[in-house]
Amino acid sequence: MEPTNTNAFLENEALGKLMRKFSIPCIISLLVGALYNIVDQLYIANADYLGSFGNAANTVVFPLTVVALAIAVMIGDGCCAFMSISLGRKDKEKAHCGVGNSIVLCVAVSVVLTAVFLIFQDQIVTMFGGRVNDETFALANEYFFYIALGIPFYMFGQAINPIIRSDGSPKFAMISNLAGCVVNIILDPIFIFSFKWGMMGAAVATVIGQIVTALLALWYLFHMKTIKLNKTSFQLQGALIKVFLPLGLTSFLSQITLVAAMAAINNMIHRYGAIDPVFGQTEYAQIPMAVVGIVMKVFQIVISVVVGLAAGCIPIVGFNVGAGRNDRAKGLFTRLLIAEAAVGAVALLIVELLPHQLLGAFGAAGESVYYTDFGVKSFRIYLCMMIFACVNKASFIFLQSLGKAWESTFLSLLRELIFGVGLALLLPVFWGLNGVLYSMPVSDALTAIASAIVIVKTYQSLGKERGAIAA
């Protein structure tokens, strides 16, 4: 029996109610996804036989998992937007073919990426700053090997998650991610503290959790509500892929350019830490890498909320634009920007007022005074433009959901590549390690100017056109 279109409520239900219904489960899903790596780092930091060396190793490997996530969300978010717009236009044929094509792409790319990671492991770990000292390099390699083996499961679960939301099941998308994270949280202390498996234990616990999420996502594909997959769904169509992949390009760029920024930051930390009077000493060399990694993880928690709010709006916006209801898309954009600014304000207060407590969660009690001092300074400088960072990220994603792929792509590239990488390489030349810390807030402030211009123009287009954006 052909599934009925159960998504018509997206055009009629109150926007505030829809935003809560879709965004809250999405936020939880992304927070859970972020917790995979963060939980590992929390347990690693509090294992006395790993400590800041393990923290630094985790920081080195983290960007490499983001590469996999970048590709997965490009496929998944692109399909999510495409599927929502297609369902808004009552075109189920394109919707189910888009889903099938995204599955094939995800599986194929994940296998290739795993092979590349394993073949070039030493070179990749070195590229991301893993050679700050021998112990960090050894621990990073150990962690990376097992994480690489789980890449296909990780990518599949993350790519299907937004598709599940587009099918009208945000709660299931949340539960599938939550289940995997719970497994990881349970297994981490067993493997790290009881079995003494160290970095391998943390990685294996993570991979097992990712397998659980992938299996739940696979189950859902056979029980979709709005479409039904068949053999023709999985026949690759170049023309179709060219349409939905650009809709996920911003999600890809926001993640992959983050990897480039982290690579630049890690290498600048390595270079300028080596000539620092304190961190140039072998026993303290890993501290800047470990601390900046912790700051990034806290930022990742905030960004998970930010992206969750925005990504939860994608099915709502896509359906309404497809149905010609630009007025509702405009109203939702206003609500989103206000919510994101509020999230940024709360996060800013936390990082500025409670840096010692945040550091303490990552095992700072057992570290030197240099660790604590650099950590407090890092939180207060690196994240001081949190409000701009949140609004910028939300704008990128919302523009993507409107079908404005190129505007969204431009802003994402401007923030993450031109400013994120460029300033991370430039500022340390003048201010050393402090320059690395200032690169983040300066990038967010400059990007906010460009975002404001695009936001104004987007409001104007939503007010003048009816349905033209999705055309």
Q: Cα separation of 359 and 362, whole Å?
A: 5
308 in a domain, yes or no?
A: yes
Q: For the chain, what is the domain count?
A: 1
pLDDT at 470 over 50: no
200 in a domain, yes or no?
A: yes
Contact 60, 267 (CB under 8 A): no
469 in a domain, yes or no?
A: no
> Which comes out higher in pLDDT, residue 1 or 330?
330
360 in a domain, yes or no?
A: yes
pLDDT tens per residue across span 64-92: 888 998 899 899 989 988 888 888 788 88
pLDDT tens per residue across span 278-288: 998 888 888 89
470 in a domain, yes or no?
A: no
pLDDT tens per residue across span 267-317: 899 899 888 889 988 888 888 988 988 898 899 889 889 988 998 888 888
pLDDT at 344 over 90: yes
pLDDT value for 382? 95
205 in a domain, yes or no?
A: yes
pLDDT value for 93? 87
pLDDT tens per residue across span 100-122: 999 999 999 999 999 999 999 99
What's this model's pTM, rounded to 2 decimal places? 0.76
What is the chain's length?
Answer: 471
Q: Among residues 166, 1, 177, which one has the least CA distance to residue 99?
A: 166
The region of weakest confidence among 26-40, 323-337, 449-463 is 26-40
Domain containing residue 131: 25-464
Q: Among residues 285, 276, 313, which one has the least CA distance to residue 398?
A: 313
Residue 365 — pLDDT band, cuts 50, 70, 90? low
pLDDT at 396 over 90: no
Residue 388 — pLDDT band, cuts 50, 70, 90? very high
269 in a domain, yes or no?
A: yes
pLDDT at 318 over 50: yes
16 in a domain, yes or no?
A: no
